[in-house]
C-alpha cells in the first residue's frame, strides 16, 4: 500500500476509509469550507502559480537542473502533500489524487461519498482546450460550494445527481477512455472523483511531464493473458500512457509495466477477456513505487 494508505487508510486504502469523506469528522466544517471556497474561486491560478519564485513556464527544463531542480521538486511536493494547519488554498496545498479502477469508483459513490453529489464542468479541460465537459463528480461540502460558482455549472441540466446516476456517469466516462481518479482536497478530506484525461488533467500532467507526485498510480496493475490475446490492438489505442504495445512479429500485445497506471480502462477494449487488474504488490516486478 502507498504511504497515504498507511497514514489515512485505517489499515486499508486511503480512499476506502469512510472517515475521510466527512469534513466534520476531520476538522471543523467552517475551516474546511473556507479553504475550499478560496481554492475553487481561484482554481485558474493553479495553472500559472509560481514555485520558489519560478513561474510554470519552462518548468520541465528547470526541474532537470541539478540544484534548482531538486529545490523546485521539494518545494512543489511540499505544497502538494502539505498537511499543515494553515495551508494556502489559492495554491491548493494538500490537493492530489490517485487513479482507481471503475469498480472502486462505483463503490465510493454507492457507499462512501457524502451528499449532495453534483456533476460539473471540468476546469482542467476548459483551461487546456476551451472545452466545457461535465465529467467531474464532487460531493459533500465541496458540492455546496461549487454549485454556487456559475462558471462550473451547466445551465441546461440538473446538476445534483443521485448515487445511481453518478455510477452510470462514471461507467460512461470510463468506457470512453477517461481514467477514474479520487482526490484529497485538502488531505485527508476526500470530496471528488474525476474522469481524467491526459494531458488535460492538471494533476496527471504534473506527474507525466514533471514526475511530481500530484497523481499517483493505482493500487493495481494490468495483467495480460497471452493465450487469450488475439492481437486486435484495440487496447493499445485505449491506453493513455503508452503501456500497451503491439509487436507485429508476435502478433501480440505486450505490457510496459513501468508505464502502467493500473486504471483498467484498457479492459473495455478487449473482447477476449485477456486483460485483468491484479493488486500491484502481487506483481513480481513491483518495486514499491506508485
Residue 49: per-residue pLDDT: 59
The residue written with cell numbers 466516462 in the block is: 173
Residue 48: per-residue pLDDT: 58
d(CA 45, CA 92): 10
Residue 38: per-residue pLDDT: 93
Residue 273: per-residue pLDDT: 93
Phi, psi for 190 (deg, rounded to 5): -110, 125
Domains of the chain by residue range: 3-216, 220-282
* CA-based torsion, 166, 108, 5, 174: positive or negative: negative
For 207, other C-beta atoms within 10 Å of its C-beta total 21
Report how far apart, in Å, the C-alpha atoms of 168 and of each of 80, 100, 137 are: 31, 16, 12
Residue 200: per-residue pLDDT: 85
Residue 53 burial (C-beta neighbours within 10 Å; 0-12, 13-18, 19+): exposed
Of the CATH numbers 3.30.70.20, 3.20.20.450, 3.30.1330.200, 2.40.50.140, which one belongs to the domain with range 220-282? 3.30.70.20
Cα 171 to chain centroid, rounded: 15
Residue 67 burial (C-beta neighbours within 10 Å; 0-12, 13-18, 19+): exposed
Its pTM stands at 0.92
Residue 56: per-residue pLDDT: 56
Residue 53: per-residue pLDDT: 56
Residue 75: per-residue pLDDT: 87
Q: What is the pLDDT along the chain (290 residues), one digit of tens a residue?
A: 578 998 999 888 999 999 999 988 886 666 788 999 999 998 877 665 555 555 555 566 666 777 777 888 888 899 999 998 889 998 889 999 999 999 999 999 999 999 999 999 998 888 888 889 999 999 999 999 999 999 999 888 778 999 999 999 999 999 999 999 999 999 999 999 999 888 888 888 888 888 889 999 999 999 999 999 998 999 999 999 999 999 998 888 999 999 999 999 999 999 999 999 999 988 887 777 78
Residue 47: per-residue pLDDT: 62
End-to-end CA, the chain: 9
Residue 50: per-residue pLDDT: 58
Residue 29: per-residue pLDDT: 63
For 68, other C-beta atoms within 10 Å of its C-beta total 14
Amino acid at each position: 500500500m502507498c504511504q497515504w494508505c498507511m497514514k489515512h487508510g485505517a489499515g486499508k486504502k486511503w480512499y476506502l476509509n469512510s472517515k475521510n469523506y466527512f469534513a466534520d469528522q476531520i476538522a471543523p466544517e467552517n475551516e474546511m469550507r473556507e479553504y475550499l471556497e478560496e481554492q475553487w474561486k481561484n482554481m485558474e491560478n493553479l495553472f500559472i502559480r509560481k514555485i520558489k519564485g519560478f513561474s510554470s513556464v519552462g518548468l520541465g527544463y528547470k526541474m532537470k537542473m541539478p540544484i534548482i531542480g531538486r529545490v523546485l521538486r521539494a518545494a512543489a511536493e511540499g505544497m502538494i502533500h502539505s498537511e499543515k494547519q494553515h495551508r494556502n488554498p489559492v495554491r491548493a496545498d494538500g490537493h492530489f489524487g490517485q487513479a482507481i479502477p471503475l469498480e472502486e469508483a462505483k463503490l465510493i459513490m454507492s457507499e462512501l461519498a457524502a451528499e449532495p453529489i453534483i456533476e460539473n464542468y471540468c476546469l482542467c479541460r476548459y483551461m487546456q482546450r476551451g472545452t466545457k465537459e461535465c465529467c467531474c463528480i464532487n460531493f459533500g461540502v465541496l458540492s455546496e460550494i461549487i454549485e454556487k460558482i456559475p462558471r462550473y455549472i451547466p445551465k441546461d441540466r440538473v446538476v445534483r445527481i443521485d448515487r445511481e446516476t453518478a455510477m452510470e456517469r462514471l461507467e460512461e466516462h470510463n468506457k470512453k477512455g477517461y481514467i477514474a481518479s479520487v482526490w484529497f482536497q485538502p488531505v485527508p478530506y476526500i470530496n471528488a472523483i474525476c474522469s481524467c484525461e491526459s494531458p488535460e488533467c492538471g494533476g496527471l500532467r504534473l506527474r507525466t511531464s514533471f514526475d511530481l507526485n500530484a497523481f499517483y498510480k493505482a493500487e493495481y496493475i494490468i495483467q495480460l493473458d497471452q493465450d487469450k490475446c488475439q492481437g486486435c490492438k484495440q487496447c493499445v489505442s485505449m491506453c493513455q500512457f503508452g503501456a500497451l504495445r503491439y509487436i507485429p512479429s508476435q502478433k501480440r500485445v505486450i505490457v510496459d509495466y513501468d508505464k502502467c497506471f493500473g486504471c483498467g480502462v484498457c479492459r473495455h477494449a478487449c473482447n477476449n477477456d485477456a486483460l485483468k487488474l491484479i493488486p500491484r504488490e502481487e506483481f513480481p516486478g513491483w518495486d514499491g513505487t506508485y
